[in-house]
Structure 1
Amino acid sequence: MKTIISTISLCVITAALLLAGCTKLNENILDESSAGGQTEKETAEGFIAPVYATLPNLFLHTNYLAVQEISTDEAILPYRGGTDWGDNGIYIALHSHNFGTTDAPGRNTWNFLTQGISRCVSAISVLPTSTFASAKTFLAEARAMRAYYSMVMLDIFGVVFIKENPNDFSRVARGAEAYEYIKSEFLAAEPDLASDVTHGRLSKEAVWGLLARLYLNAAVYRDVYGTPDFQREDMNKVIEYTDKVIASGKYALSPEYFAIFDDNNDTNKEIIFAVDQRADLNGHNRMAYFSLSGDQFPLPQYVAANGTDGPAITSDFYRSWVDAYTPADPVIDPRFFKDNLKIRPGSGDTCIPAAQFHINRGILRGQQYGLIRRSGAFVKCANGDMLVSRLAHDTRNRPDLPVNFTEQVDFTTAGSNYPSGYRVSKYEFSRKSVSGRNFGEANIVILRLADIYLMRAEAKLRANNDAPGALADVNTVRAARTARMAPPALNVMNLDLLFRERGFELYWECLRRTDMIRFSKYEDSWTEKSSTDKQKRIFPIPQTAIDGASNVPGYLVQNPGY
Structure 2
Amino acid sequence: MNNYNYKILAMATVLSLAFSSCKKDLDLTPTNDITADKAYADFSGYQSGVAKVYGSYATPSNIGTGTSDVSGQDPGFADFLRGYWNLQELPTDEAACAWIGDAGGGIQGLDYNSYVPSNVLILGMYARSMYQISVVNEFLRESTDAKVASRGITGNDAQEIKYFAAEARFIRAFQYWVLMDFFGNPPFITEENKVGKESPQQITRAKLFEYVESELLAIEPLLKETNEYGRVTKAADWALLARLYLNAGVYTGTNKYNEAAQYAGKVISSGHYSLHPVYANLFKGDNDKNNPEVILSINYDGVKTQNYGGTTYLINAAVNGDMGPVGFGIPNGGWGGNRSRPNLPNLFGDYKNTKDKRAMFWGDNPNITDISIFKQGLAVTKFTNLTSTGTTPPSVGGTYCSTDFPLFRLAEMYLVYAEAVARGGSGSTATALGYLNLLRQRAYGDASGNLSSYTVDDILNERGRELYWEGFRRTDLIRYSKYTSDTYLWPFKGGIAAGKGLEAYKTLYPLPVSDVIANTNLTQNPGY
TM > 0.5 between the two? Answer: yes
How far 1:9 moved relative to its partner?
11
Cα 1:427–1:418, aligned 2, differ >3 Å: closer, same or farther?
Answer: closer
CA distance in 2, matches of 1:239, 1:6: 44
* Residue 477 of structure 1: aligned partner: 439
Q: Secondary structure at the match of 1:55?
A: coil
Work out which of the residue numbers 474, 499, 504 in structure 1 matches 2:465.
504
| Aligned counterparts, 1:253-272, within 5 A | 253-267=275-289, 268-272=291-295
CA distance in 1, matches of 2:316, 2:184: 31
CA distance in 2, matches of 1:11, 1:289: 39
Cα deviation, 1:295-348, whole Å, max 9, x if unaligned, reads 3333379885232111211112222221xxx5x855310111xxxxxxxxxxxx
Amino acid at match of 2:336: D
Q: Indicate the structure (1 or 2) with the bigger Cα radius of gyration.
A: 1
CA distance in 1, matches of 2:261, 2:20: 41
Work out which of the residue numbers 28, 52, 55 in structure 2 matches 1:53.
55
Work out which of the residue numbers 332, 347, 367 in structure 2 matches 1:408.
367
Q: Which runs of 5+ in 1 are unaligned?
A: 16-28, 224-228, 337-361, 367-405
* Residue 26 of structure 1: aligned partner: none
CA distance in 2, matches of 1:48, 1:270: 24
Residues 1:65 and 2:89 aligned together: no
TM-score normalised according to structure 2 size: 0.80
* Residue 420 of structure 2: aligned partner: 459
CA distance in 1, matches of 2:504, 2:302: 42
Cα 1:436–1:477, aligned 2, differ >3 Å: closer, same or farther?
Answer: farther
Residues 1:557 and 2:523 aligned together: yes
Q: Secondary structure at the match of 1:446?
A: strand
How far 1:59 moved relative to its partner?
5.5
Cα deviation, 1:443-501, whole Å, max 9, x if unaligned, reads 1111000001000001111125965443222112222347x567611222001111000
Contact 2:79–2:128 (CA<8 Å) still a contact in 1?
Answer: no
* Residue 355 of structure 1: aligned partner: none
* Residue 74 of structure 1: aligned partner: 94
Contact 1:457–1:473 (CA<8 Å) still a contact in 2?
Answer: yes
Contact 1:5–1:31 (CA<8 Å) still a contact in 2?
Answer: no
* Residue 402 of structure 2: aligned partner: 441
How far 1:363 moved relative to its partner?
1.6
| Aligned counterparts, 1:259-408, within 5 A | 259-267=281-289, 268-279=291-302, 281-284=304-307, 285=310, 286=312, 287-299=314-326, 305-322=332-349, 329=352, 331-336=354-359, 362-366=360-364, 406-408=365-367
Contact 1:298–1:305 (CA<8 Å) still a contact in 2?
Answer: yes
* Residue 168 of structure 2: aligned partner: 142
* Residue 194 of structure 1: aligned partner: 224
Cα 1:500–1:437, aligned 2, differ >3 Å: closer, same or farther?
Answer: farther
Aligned residues: CA RMSD: 3.0
Cα deviation, 1:205-253, whole Å, max 9, x if unaligned, reads 1111111111111111115xxxxx53xxx21111221111111111110
* Residue 189 of structure 2: aligned partner: 162
* Residue 503 of structure 2: aligned partner: 533
Contact 1:11–1:119 (CA<8 Å) still a contact in 2?
Answer: no
The share of aligned pairs that are identical, in percent, is 29
Q: Give the number of the structure whose residues are more often strand, by fraction.
A: 1
Instruction: Tell me which moved more, 502-511 or 429-438.
Output: 429-438
Q: Which runs of 5+ in 2 are unaligned?
A: 1-14, 61-77, 387-391, 494-499
How far 1:509 moved relative to its partner?
0.3
CA distance in 1, matches of 2:211, 2:247: 14
How far 1:293 moved relative to its partner?
1.5
Work out which of the residue numbers 509, 515, 527 in structure 2 matches 1:545.
515
How far 1:290 moved relative to its partner?
1.1
How far 1:433 moved relative to its partner?
3.0
Cα deviation, 1:71-120, whole Å, max 9, x if unaligned, reads 110011235xxxx7554433232122110212222111011000010011
Q: Give the number of the structure whose residues are more often helix, by fraction.
A: 2
Instruction: Tell me which moved more, 313-322 or 59-68.
Output: 59-68
Amino acid at match of 1:266: D
Cα 1:33–1:548, aligned 2, differ >3 Å: closer, same or farther?
Answer: closer
TM-score normalised according to structure 1 size: 0.75
Work out which of the residue numbers 382, 404, 414 in structure 2 matches 1:426.
382
Contact 2:358–2:465 (CA<8 Å) still a contact in 1?
Answer: yes
Q: Secondary structure at the match of 1:527?
A: coil
Cα deviation, 1:251-303, whole Å, max 9, x if unaligned, reads 11011101111101112111001101135751533221111123333337988
Contact 1:4–1:31 (CA<8 Å) still a contact in 2?
Answer: no
Q: Secondary structure at the match of 2:143?
A: helix
